[in-house]
Each structure stands twice: as structure tokens, then as C-alpha cells.
């Protein structure tokens, strides 16, 4: 199973991606987690990414596309994967299309989670208090929501047109949302 999980910050993508990964026995690949790991370990990639992540801006496509390509080439990704947080703009969709064409492994479905603005803000505030992520400042949060609306949300139309979109309500109990996703994916 090769899946994307898309939706605004705070909608529960990471949580649902982890549960789907467990259900299907595939790795959940989060570009945000890869950047955070590299930032924590002060790698060259991390130091470059930090210039953007802390401001709530997207890391340049070239760098982001490369880490995804490298990650999809790893052994544990050969039987499928779920990508969380990628693609985030039209150019990343093109890059992913090219990667998958080259690998000969088409995408199965795109799970889109959504929730009202108020619900998202509440969850983001809770996460900021619990996890203390350095990019959870009010300015960075607002920037990420704006970037999502402008650059990422329109991508849902692309996948809808391709007949791959599965839209799920992200409000409710975690296990009930998971069950709804699995039911639609089959």
C-alpha cells in the first residue's frame, strides 16, 4: 500500500499515519520528522532546514525532494509506505510523480483529513504546550496554516481529479477516525 496523508497542521496526520503504518505493516515517512531528527543532530541538512522550519516556511523543494527520494529507496519502503507532510506544493507533486514513475510504483490513495479552524487551533495550542516544538510559536503556526491554504490545499483537487482522494472527517475519536480510513481503503 502506497499512501499519502494530507491535511492542515493539527488535524492528526501524524497520529493517523502511525496507526495506518501499523495496520498495513509499512513505514510512516514524515518529512517534518526527518527534518527534526537532522536538526536535533545538527547535521548539515538539519542546519540548512532550520533556516526555514523555525519561521514556519517550507524547506526548499530541491532539498525536500532529495530526502524523500532517498527515503523511498530504503529497504523497508519497498513493500509500501505512507508519506506524511509531502508533497506540500505543486512542484513536489511533480517531483513525486517522477520518482514513482521511475520506481514503477504508483500511488494507491491519498487520505485527506480536515477539521474546523477552531478545532485545529485548539489542538495546535495543546501540542505546543505538551511538546515544546521550537517551530510552534504563534507566528510560525499562522505562517504554516497560511502556506497550507495557499500551496497545499489546492493539491487535493489534483488527486481528486485522478480519482485517488479519500476525504475523511478529522474530528472525533482517534480509533473511530482510523477505522473510517481503513474501511474506505479496504
Annotated binding-site ranges for ATP? 10-15, 127, 172
* Contacts (CB under 6 A) with ligand AMP, residues 91-130: 92
Residue nearest to ligand AMP (CB): 32
Among 2, 71, 109, 144, binds ligand AMP (CB under 6 A): 144
Minimal distance in Å, beta carbon 186 to ligand AMP?
A: 27
Distance, CA of 100 to CA of 86 (rounded, Å): 13
Contacts of residue 81, Cβ cutoff 8 Å, sequence gap at least 6: 2, 3, 26, 27, 28, 29, 72
Segment interacting with ligand AMP (CB under 6 A) among 83-91, 96-104, 107-115, 156-164: 83-91
**Cis previous bond, 87, omega within 30:** yes
CB 155 within 8 A of CB 6: yes
Any contact of residue 88 with ligand AMP (CB under 6 A)? yes
Cα 37 to Cα 133: distance, rounded to the nearest angstrom: 12
Quick one: which segment of 30-38, 98-106, 116-124, 161-169 binds ligand AMP (CB under 6 A)? Answer: 30-38
81 binds ligand AMP (CB under 6 A): no
Per CB under 6 A, 9 contacts ligand AMP: yes
18: exposed, middle or buried (Cβ count in 10 Å: 0-12, 13-18, 19+): middle
> How is residue 27 annotated by DSSP?
-
Reply yes or no on whether 162 is catalytic. Answer: no
Catalytic residue chosen out of the listed positions 55, 127, 143, 160: 127
From 17-25, 48-56, 71-79, 115-123, span contacting ligand AMP (CB under 6 A) = 48-56
Question: Annotated catalytic sites, by residue?
Answer: 13, 88, 127, 133, 144
Residues that bind ligand AMP (CB under 6 A): 9, 31-32, 35, 52-53, 56-59, 64, 85-86, 88, 92, 135, 144
Amino acid at each position: 500500500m502506497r499512501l499519502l496523508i494530507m491535511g492542515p497542521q493539527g488535524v492528526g496526520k501524524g497520529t493517523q499515519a502511525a496507526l495506518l503504518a501499523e495496520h498495513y505493516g509499512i513505514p510512516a515517512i514524515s518529512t517534518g520528522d526527518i527534518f527534526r531528527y537532522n536538526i536535533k543532530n545538527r547535521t548539515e541538512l538539519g542546519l540548512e532546514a532550520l533556516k526555514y522550519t523555525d519561521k514556519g516556511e517550507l524547506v526548499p523543494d530541491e532539498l525536500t525532494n532529495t530526502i524523500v527520494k532517498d527515503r523511498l529507496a530504503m529497504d523497508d519502503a519497498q513493500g509500501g509506505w505512507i508519506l506524511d507532510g509531502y508533497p506540500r506544493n505543486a512542484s513536489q507533486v511533480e517531483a513525486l510523480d517522477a520518482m514513482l514513475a521511475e520506481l514503477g510504483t504508483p500511488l494507491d490513495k491519498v487520505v485527506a483529513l480536515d477539521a474546523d479552524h477552531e478545532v485545529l487551533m485548539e489542538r495546535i495550542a495543546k501540542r505546543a504546550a505538551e511538546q515544546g516544538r521550537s517551530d510552534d510559536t504563534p507566528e510560525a503556526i499562522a505562517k504554516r496554516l497560511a502556506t497550507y491554504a495557499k500551496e497545499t490545499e489546492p493539491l487535493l483537487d489534483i488527486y481528486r481529479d485522478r480519482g485517488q482522494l479519500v476525504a475523511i472527517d478529522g474530528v472525533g475519536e482517534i480509533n473511530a477516525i482510523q477505522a473510517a480510513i481503513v474501511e474506505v481503503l479496504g
